[in-house]
Amino acid sequence: MKIETVLKITREWEFAMARNAKESLCVLISSAVRNGDVGRLAELIDSRDVAERAIAAYMRIHRSDEPSHLEAAS
């Protein structure tokens, strides 16, 4: 197998793994938000501070997706 082919396969695999990890983390965070379970997320990522910041970022992103009350009233 050519080195170029091996490198291409490796990059594609790394990209797929990174995408899967990101999707998995998003699922974990959204589940923690829905269930109000920061503790379980903190256990999984071994840091309550990081878990709380991840949930806060998730909430900010999802709040910005929703129209504000002022926009809805107009």
Location of structure tokens 């970022």: 57
Q: What pLDDT digit, counting tens, does each position of 14-71 carry?
A: 777 777 777 777 777 777 777 877 777 777 767 777 777 777 877 787 775 555 444 4
Q: Sort 15 into a burial class: Cβ within 10 Å, 0-12 / 13-18 / 19+.
A: exposed
Answer whether 38's CB lies under 8 Å from 32's CB: yes
The residues, ordered by sequence, that sit 6+ positions from 7 with a Cβ below 8 Å of its Cβ are: none
Q: Which pLDDT does position 68 carry in this prediction?
A: 45
Q: Residue 50 has which token pair?
A: 């990081």
Contact 41, 51 (CB under 8 A): yes
